[in-house]
Structure 1
Amino acid sequence: MADLVLENGRLVTPWGVLDAGVAVEDGRITAIAAKSDLPSAEQVIDCSGQYVFPGLFDPHVHMGGRTPFMENIITETQSAAAGGVTSFLQYLRSDSMGYENVTERIELSAERSLVDTSFHFIVSGMEQAKDILGFSERFDIRTFKFYMGGYEPGNPIGIVTADDGVLYAGMERIRHLGDYSFCMVHAEDHPLVQLFTAEVKQTGRQDLQAYTDSRPDFVEEQDILRAIWMAELLGCPLYIPHVTVGAGIDAAIAAKERGARIVLETCPHYLGLTADHEVFHGHRAGIGKVSPPLRDTENQDRLWEGLVSGDITTVGSDHVPIEKSGSALWEERPGFAGMATILPVLITFGLKQGRISLEKIAEVTSLNPARTFGYYPQKGIMAVGSDADFAIVDLDLEKTVNAASTHSRFTSAFDEMTLTGWPTMTIRRGEIIFRDGEVLAEPGSGRVIQRVGSSAG
């Protein structure tokens, strides 16, 4: 007898939508079959009229920062559960070479997260760049992010900008780390951002488009080109998160045709919102402040095209736990919560508008992130032997984005907007962790997961 059976739903895979059910034992999938061929089970869930996605694998999440990590690792993984996210990768950072807070946050994640998690590391300075091999051996992390620009020294987020020397030293080491290793870059040219920000501030503008004007398209394009050039020079795999500009996609396509290993990610807010959207008018401009910034419809269209063509292969929320008022554009910190709204955004602005298929949504939100970073086939797919992670979705369910629907303590860029296509249930390793608006999982029921073939696994 199985522990759990899902029946009467439609299974969404990257290869098609199936009229089939799933059986689960000991947290893993044991059968995918027609209803008549499924085993009996202790618990049977009727998914009639709903679509069963593989649990989302969010590759881009920030925890802590200027809010207490030990608190938001609970509240924000509650939000993950509400959004159908069963696994996520979070960025760690350390101000010291002792990495004490890295150890602490890994331990706290194991003790307090409601969903499964693993880690990237943000490199702060030359000393850490030169220590990448030792750091990777110690913590079994192979993905390292460098902020090429966009943040002032002493910024309130604590980001340390990496110059070309730091980036070179990092890539030189990352290329030796083996499978699933990547140099990751935040691509915004720092001197240009400083120049344009000063000029735009002098005008006194407080609209969200002013922030976008302070970081025009070519600011991102230039750093993408520079990162690609260096990655090709050194033979280092490159992952570019939160791509917002079509020119960046074109640069990556050209590099891949030359044989470079380049992976592009974009985020739901770039797919669903633009800098001139009415939701940010008046005193709400700061709500939409994010780095890189929201852009125009031309770039947005290219992002959708890139997802469909496979030139952009992953979607990450870039979830940031930041409390925002929205009223003071230039003082507001960039970023917002996003894990709970990944699926509703892709369904509302993509599926419902004929821009993307169900199959592609499953591919970019689950399969590709898990496979890119080495957690497939444990994660990212509905297959016999894989973890029983599911997001059961009502494609027509409408909700207003707010604290009640997202279960997050923090502001969403989509606040007060009505989105369609929400999870009604989330299952992580065979356990129902969210059902009909209620988070059911206990803190610490999530696990720190390891890559396939990991020395720590």
Structure 2
Amino acid sequence: MNETQSFDLVIRGGTVVLPDGPAQVDIGVRAGRIAALAASLPVGRAELSALDRIVLPGGVDAHCHMDQQPWEGRSTADDFRSGTLSALCGGTTTVIPFAMQMRGQSLAEVVADYHERARPKAHIDYAFHLIVGDPTPRVLEEELPRLIAQGCTSVKIYLTYEGLKLDDYEVLEVLNVARREGALTMVHAENDACIRWLTEQFLKARKTHLRYHVLAHPAAGDREATFRAISLAEVIETPILICHVSAAGAAEEIRRAKQRGLPVYAETCPQYLFLSAEDIDTPDLRGAMCVCTPPPRARENQPEMWRGLLDGTLEVFSSDHSPWHYTDKIAGGPDTPFTRIPNGVPGIETRLPLLFSAAVNGGRMSLAQFAQLTATTPARLYGLYPRKGAIVVGADADLALWDAQREVTISNAMLHHATDHTPYEGMTVRGWPVTTVSRGDIIWHEGEVRSTPGRGRFLAAARPFTPRTSLPPVLDA
């Protein structure tokens, strides 16, 4: 091999998780991309030993919040610098956070601002989801199609939250644009009326303890909202993804829709496998660390979330990293009511180790299934595959080397996010990403950060589905 054909980096000696399963191969990297996969490759300009390591595709965290504009007077603890640093130290090489439009705002201006926030700070590559909170004619007819053409090919809508929630008519409007433009619509599916009515009843009765946060967000409301979102998408005949599924009933609605052949996708998150309503219902306010929406359900709900992951009902595993300081969560003192606690938990760095320990080392799933859930499928659904999400020739050299037997007791002091707590404090996991490679650069190795802010690049995502310019079938009957 001559000088022009040599590799910039060769990763050798590891068990490499390829799309069709693990193999003992070397990885040759050239110009930031995987150039060769072979049993034995020549020496590269740089060498990285993967002996006794499992080499997985770098994680794709398709649901995370960072440097989000102030909402209800507060900002997330992580900006793009700390948020992407925490991600890479946890074996993730691509993140897709949200550019959030609220009522009265221009979606295009929000996205432009988000580019400015991310460009100088991001350590790893990133795309943007678009949160549509105000589907005005200008947004629907001009801004949204233009932004999708520019590579923001996924749209999130909310069925609850003041300032963000859409009514059913507005949902249909957004779904119709997504169908026409080939975009994927994500849905936060909770029943807003249930939440508001129950919250009002609890407050009238002076029931303000943390446990009422869970009760005010009933699993039945998730089931109804999930069914409604699926039904509206069925009318338009366009794909949707139900975000952060927390409840068995919602998972069952998704399973039934899939059995009917509908293009419905879904994700769940660590908090629904490893936290529970019992973790929120504490005598003091420490349970506030686990407050998020939808909330973790009772422990007996967790097996149904595992079932959904393992049978393909829930095909994406994201962090929903939404980092608020614990001190902000309890700013109202020891009697802080549940309605005053910001919703969200940090988890971008612990997402992969928690699942690897419980699922792979726990004997629930194979390495190939783990790679699909945490990298390949989200990359496919959000228009980033094959550049991201799999170890294949031509893909970006985004890799995570794992010590499958390393035991780590999680503590906030060891993590790299900017928030002051982790809800997984004290949990012991087996298996940890010890080296992270992004576009051929070794950016994390055995506790040493080798990355710099600003090296991450914006990813213009492809349209994940074929645009359909014809009328929805119900209108063309």
Cα deviation per residue 1:407-450 (whole Å; 9 max; x = unaligned)? 00013321343333221111000001111222211111010012
How big is the shift at 1:322?
1.5
Deviation larger for 351-360 or 267-276: 351-360
The answer to whether residue 176 in structure 2 is matched with residue 172 in structure 1 is yes
Name 2:424's counterpart in structure 1: 414
Matched, 1:49 2:60: no
Q: Is the 8 A contact 1:207 1:285 kept in 2?
A: no
Q: Distance in 2 between matches of 1:199 and 1:374?
A: 44
1:303-328 Cα distance to aligned partner (Å, 9 max, x none): 11111111211111111131123654
* Aligned twin of 1:10: 15
Aligned residues: 443
Taking structure 2 as the reference length, what is the TM-score of the superposition? Answer: 0.87
Give the residue type in structure 1 aligned to 2:156: K
The residue that corresponds to 1:32 in the other structure is 37
Answer yes or no: is 1:338 the counterpart of 2:338. no
Change (3 A) 1:273 1:350: farther
Structure 2 counterpart of 1:176, one-letter code: R
Q: What's 2:474 paired with?
A: none
Q: Is 2:418 the partner of 1:424?
A: no
Which residue in 1 is equivalent to 2:469? none
Contact 2:31/2:440, CA 8 A, preserved across alignment: yes
| Structure 1 Cα separation of the partners of residues 362 and 78 of structure 2 | 38
Match for 1:314 among 313, 316, 321? Answer: 316
Paired with 2:25 and 2:281, the residues of 1 have a C-alpha distance of 40
Asked whether the 8 Å contact 1:264–1:312 carries over to 2, the reply is yes
**Alpha-carbon shift at residue 99 of structure 1 (Å):** 3.1
In the other structure, the counterpart of 1:156 is none
State the alpha-carbon separation in 1 of the partners of residues 137 and 456 from structure 2.
29
User: Take 2:272 and 2:36, find their aligned partners in 1: how far apart are those partners?
Assistant: 37
Kindly provide the CA deviation profile for residues 208-252 of structure 1, in whole angstroms up to 9, marking residues without a partner as x: 543222212111011000001100011121111101122222212
Q: Which residue, 150, 155, 161 being the options, matches 1:144? A: 155
CA deviation after TM superposition for structure 1 residue 128, in Å? 6.6
After superposition, what is the alpha-carbon deviation per residue over 1:86-145, rounded to whole angstroms, capped at 9, x for unaligned? 011111013422632320211332332100000111111231785265323144322211
**Whole-angstrom distance in 2 between the partners of 1:17 and 1:165:** 47
Give the aligned CA root-mean-square deviation in angstroms: 2.3
User: Are the structure 2 counterparts of residues 369 and 75 from structure 1 closer, same or farther at C-alpha, using a change threshold of 3 Å?
Assistant: same
User: Which residues in structure 2 correspond to 1:233-248 (within 5 Å)?
Assistant: 233-248=235-250
Structure 1 residues 385 and 191 mapped into 2: Cα distance closer, same or farther (>3 Å)? same
Q: Tell me, yes or no, if the aligned pair for 2:279 and 2:290 is still in contact at 8 Å.
A: no
Query: What is the 5 A alignment of 1:92-107?
Result: 92-95=99-102, 96-97=105-106, 99-107=108-116
Match for residue 19 of structure 1 among 13, 19, 24: 24
Which stretch has the larger CA shift, 370-379 or 329-338? Answer: 329-338
Match for 2:455 among 428, 439, 445?
A: 445
User: Any conservation in 2 of the 1:397–1:421 contact (CA below 8 Å)?
Assistant: yes
Instruction: Structure 2: give runs of 5+ residues left out of the alignment.
Output: 1-5, 331-335, 465-477
CA deviation string 1:241-275 (max 9, x = no partner): 10112222221222233332111111112111212
**Aligned in 2, Cα 1:133/1:185: closer, same or farther, shift over 3 Å?**
farther
Residue 455 of structure 2 aligns with an amino acid whose one-letter code is: S
AA of the residue aligned to 2:177: R
The AA in structure 2 aligned to 1:443 is P
Contact 2:403 2:431 in 1 (8 A): yes
Within 5 Å, which residues of 2 pair with 1:16-415?
16-34=21-39, 37-65=40-68, 66=70, 72-95=79-102, 96-97=105-106, 99-127=108-136, 131=140, 134-138=143-147, 139-149=150-160, 151=161, 153=162, 159-178=163-182, 181-201=183-203, 208-277=210-279, 282-325=284-327, 327=330, 328=336, 329-410=338-419, 411-415=421-425
The one-letter amino acid of 1:111's match is P
Q: Distance between the aligned counterparts of 1:294 and 1:278, measured in 2?
A: 8
Percent identity between the two aligned chains: 31
Contact 1:79 1:340 in 2 (8 A): yes
**Retained in 2: the 8 A contact 1:132–1:170?**
no
Q: Secondary structure at the match of 1:307?
A: helix
Contact 2:210–2:280 (CA under 8 A) maintained in structure 1: no
